[in-house]
Amino acid sequence: MTQHRTPLELIDLYWNEVWNNRNVELIREICADPIQRHDPDSTTTLSVDDQVARVRQQSNATEPFFEHEVLHADDRFVTSVWNMRSRKNPARTLCGIEVFESKDGKFIRCWNSAYIPGRWGREGDKSVRDDLPPPELIESRHQINAGWMQKVLKHAGLELPRLTHATPEPIGHGNTSSTLRCRLGYNANADKAIRSVICKLPRPGYGRFANPEQSFYRREAEAYRLLTSVARKHVPRAYLAASSDDGSIINLVLDDLSQTCRPGDQARGCSIAEAGAVIDAFADVHCAFWQDSSINQLPWLLDRPSMNMSQAYADRMGAARARFEGKIDPAYLDLVDHFAPLIDMAKENIVGRTLIHGEPRVDNVMFEDRSDGPFAWLIDWQFVDFGSPMYDTAYFLAGSLETEDRRACERDLIAKHQQAIASVDPTYTEDVAVQEYANSLPFAFYTTICAIPAVPPGEHGDALLKALIERNVMALKDWELLPG
């Protein structure tokens, strides 16, 4: 009777001779031709020549050294829970589990777990290391994993169990960024842990500017860092707010408001009660930063006063007409052609008083339905600036309410906003607020026209822009601000 090597003898030769001593040709003695490899959702059949070539390539690249953490065998199967370190780069470590099946003294099949950076934990190791490095900047949803998310939440000051998975799924329309909901799983009781977060990553083709200081990716990351540091109650907490030096990458990890809130719908607009909730949110931010000269010095603000708005508007007039010719009342498009002079006049009346959102459309708001009515959360801070508080109010009411609803509540909501600010600055009167509101209204229409190239064409994008144009124009008409 032929005596064959046992599974335990085979695994010793496989790790110690083939890998650790780099005797790759020994594979021809201990592995079947072919052998079948099982990975998650796939199987691969490898000839013995393929096996030799694969191991030689990886061995030359990293010079790995394997050790068993757990080893168990019977007369057919052997399981190795292993650790690996690279002899070329000792800082590089991996761990994994492999199960081999043998027949007639050779391995015929193997099952591989995913290879994980690090080594298997041992008694005395903490569940989550205290010295985790900060999270690196990433560019794609495919780079989101449990290890990266653990670093994010650890450096945000959260003491959580060890994450076992972080699974991203796209949400929203993502006009300028990729937005994802990331579901989290842990290796321990997670009743009080965060179960999901929102991640915002760069979208290819967006974010690169000649001047990194004016990158809207960098601006939004800096805004969330600032707002999280002072814990504004109408702004979601940012666990991570980072951008690259050149402004081409953004990494945001935020509270997942989608579990308790509903997003605003720009084409549908909002109710008067919801508009009142948004004004409360504006007042919370505006009062917190009122007349703060240090904010005005921040280099990443949009800095509208220094912008060549007339030129920017002129560059986009053609795009507006080309996109909406035949889709919108011609009177609106005629106004596009004659609006530029109003931009220069309005710009002269810009008043810097506080931190402003800068683009508070209703689809940049999340609404939470509470027992005492709607509560508004402000998101998407890409156009934050130092300006008049009425800029946000004018922009929002002119674009996010149907015209009749705006007319019914406009003056009351201006007064509500003014009274909140007067609580920190009694000199801010209703007359001042009304004048600043009127001065700010042209910028709503200006921003809508300038946003046209950035909003992808299609049913959603076209409906969003059409609603904004029509509502903006009616607000300008009601306030007798139209040119001519």
Residue pLDDT, tens place only, 300-346: 999 888 887 777 777 777 777 788 888 888 887 777 777 777 777 77
- Whether 359 shows a pLDDT value over 60: the answer reads yes
- Is 129 within a domain? no
Both 147 and 198 in a single domain?
A: yes
pLDDT of amino acid 283: 97
> Does 134 sit behind a cis peptide bond, omega within 30 degrees of 0 on the bond before it?
no
Within 10 A of 28 (CB to CB), how many other CB atoms are there? 13
Q: Report if residue 307 sits inside a domain.
A: yes
Lowest mean pLDDT among 341-355, 363-377, 398-412, 456-470: 341-355
| Structural domain contains residue 293 | yes
212 and 103 inside one domain: no
pLDDT, tens digit, for every residue of 136-172? Answer: 999 999 999 999 999 999 999 998 999 999 999 998 7
Model confidence band, residue 129 (pLDDT cutoffs 50, 70, 90): confident
Total-model pTM: 0.82
Kindly report each contact of residues 429-438 with a partner whose C-beta sits within 8 Å and lies 24 or more positions away, as own/partner: 433/389, 433/390, 436/349, 436/351, 436/388, 436/389, 436/390, 436/391, 437/390, 437/393, 437/394, 438/394, 438/479, 438/481
Q: 431 vs 373, 411, 415, CA distance in Å?
A: 29, 11, 9
Residue 85 lies in a domain: yes
pLDDT class for 208, splitting at 50, 70, 90?
low
Q: What is the CATH number of the domain that holds 14?
A: 3.10.450.50
pLDDT in the model for residue 210: 43
The pLDDT of residue 217: 93
pLDDT at 114: 83
379, 332: one domain? yes
pLDDT of residue 147: 92
According to DSSP, the residues that pair with 377 across neighbouring strands are 366
Percent of the chain with pLDDT over 90: 68
CB 463 within 8 A of CB 394: no
Q: Residue 307 is which amino acid?
A: M
Q: Which pair of structure tokens corresponds to residue 427?
A: 């000199």
C-alpha to C-alpha distance for 276 and 362, rounded to whole angstroms: 12
Please indicate, yes or no, whether residues 296 and 380 belong to a single structural domain of this protein. yes
Backbone angles phi, psi at 26, to 5 degrees: -65, -20
C-alpha distances out from residue 278 to 229, 252, 353, Å: 21, 23, 19
- Of 190, 224, 239, at which residue does a domain stop? 239
| Position 30 confidence tier, pLDDT thresholds 50, 70, 90 | very high
Q: How confident is the model over 179-199, as pLDDT tens digits?
A: 999 999 999 888 889 999 999
How far is Cα 354 from Cα 437, in angstroms, rounded to an integer? Answer: 15
Cβ 11 vs Cβ 71: under 8 Å: yes
* Residues facing residue 367 across a β-bridge: 262, 376
Residues 332 and 470 in one domain: yes
**250 domain-assigned:** no
Evaluate if residue 175 carries a pLDDT over 70: no
Domain membership of residue 2 (yes or no) is no
pLDDT at 1 over 60: no
**Count of domains forming the chain:** 3
Indicate the length of the chain as a whole number: 484
Same domain, 188 and 305: no
- Shared domain check, 163 and 97: no
Q: Which residues contact 232 (CB under 8 A, 6 or more apart)?
A: 284, 285, 288
Residue 448 or 333, more confident: 448
Angstrom CA distances, 459 to 265, 327, 455, stand at 14, 12, 11
In the predicted model, is pLDDT for residue 112 greater than 50? yes
Assess whether 197 and 335 both reside in one domain. no
Q: Of 264-278, 329-343, 372-386, which range is least confident?
A: 329-343
Write out the H or E segment, with its range, that includes residue 88.
none
Report whether pLDDT(443) > 90: no
- Do 268 and 234 share a structural domain? no
- pLDDT higher than threshold 90 for residue 42: yes
Residues 6+ apart with CB under 8 A from 281: 234, 365, 376, 377, 378
Instruction: Tell me if 134 is assigned to some domain.
Output: no
Give the residue with greater pLDDT, 296 vs 176: 296
Share of residues in the chain with pLDDT > 70 (%):
96
Same domain, 275 and 345: yes
* Whether residue 426 has pLDDT greater than 90: yes
Tell me, yes or no, whether 130 lies in a domain. Answer: no
Q: What is the pLDDT of residue 213?
A: 56
Q: Domain range holding 60? A: 7-117
Which pLDDT score is estimated for 348? 73
My answer on whether 271 and 379 are in the same domain is: yes
Query: Would you say 279 and 416 are in contact if contact means Cβ atoms under 8 Å apart?
Result: yes
Confidence of residue 46 (pLDDT cuts 50, 70, 90): very high
368 and 455 in a single domain? The answer is yes
Using pLDDT thresholds of 50, 70 and 90, give the confidence band for residue 462: confident
Mean pLDDT of the chain: 91
Which CATH number do you get for residue 458? 3.90.1200.10
Count of H-run helices and E-run strands, the chain: 14, 17
